[in-house]
Structure 1
């Protein structure tokens, strides 16, 4: 059984949702970043962490990619054009959504106060909305790559939820409808129910 270490309201949500989607059993350990439990498994103290037997894996995208490949679910086979397109979407979401949101979070509360630049927030919100509009223009539907849900969808929906909770604009009709539709999935609901 997989063991997941991390807080549900963090990037660990991606791993938990993935496990729910592919129907794999797991044991959840609700730990905060830099806690003793996290540091014992990951020297950086970052979460999420997945333990699979003797293997300890870190980074949410690396973990969900591993799970997708291992179980042949929510992914296209390596070496195919569809997989290259999936990887391109994944990296786009990391660069244009996750990185923007993480930069905002760092300047709001993570960095030492004397290193924060509050004025960057407006620029990041503009950048996020611009990137969202670009993704909306290339959206195929019902999923990012058409008829098949992939791990890129988990990543994208998580970032859209993070954006909304952080007060970022999510003002694109196509992407808002997509976001609402994927949040109706049973696996998403089960993951959301883990928040205590």
Structure 2
């Protein structure tokens, strides 16, 4: 059985949601970043971490890629053109959406106050809106890659939820509808209900 270390309010949400989607049993340890439990799983104290047997994996995307490959779920097989397209979308979301949100968060509450540049949030909002428009144009069907839900869908939906809470620009109607469809998924609802 897997053990997920990290609060639901962190990127651990992505891993928890994926485990719910693929129907794998897990234990959840809702540890905060830099808590003793987080430090025991990752010397940097970052969450999430995933214990799989005697191994502890870190980084939400690495964990989801591992789970997808091991369980042949929410992913295309390695070495295929579809997997390369999926990986490209994954990196686009991480670079253009997640990275922008994280930069704004660091300068809002993560960094020590003397190192924050609060004014950075406004250009980050502009960049987010511009980058999100490119992803909207790429949306191929009900999911980012067409008819099949993949790891990038979890990443983008998590980022859309994060952006909403951070008061970033709203997505266009196409992505609003996409977000509503994703949030209605029973696995996401079970994840939201976790402590």
TM class by shorter chain equals over 0.9
1:67 match:
67
Aligned residues: 195
Cα-to-partner distance string for 1:93-115 (whole Å, 9 max, x where unaligned): 00011100000000001111111
1:136 match:
136
Q: Which residues of 2 match residues 3-152 of structure 1 at below 5 A?
A: 3-152=3-152
SS at structure 2 position matched to 1:28: strand
TM-score by length of 1: 0.98
SS at structure 2 position matched to 1:170: coil
Structure-2 separation of matches of 1:114 and 1:17? 36
Cα-to-partner distance string for 1:56-95 (whole Å, 9 max, x where unaligned): 0000000000000000000000010000000000000000
Deviation at 1:138, TM superposition (A): 1.6
Cα-to-partner distance string for 1:116-144 (whole Å, 9 max, x where unaligned): 11111100000001111111112111000
Deviation at 1:170, TM superposition (A): 2.0
SS at structure 2 position matched to 1:7: coil
**Residue 166 of structure 1 pairs with residue 157 of structure 2:** no
The root-mean-square deviation of aligned C-alpha atoms, in Å, is 0.6
> Which segments of structure 1 move beyond 6 Å, counting only runs of 4 or more?
none
Which runs of 5 or more structure 1 residues have no equivalent in the other structure?
none
Deviation at 1:40, TM superposition (A): 1.1
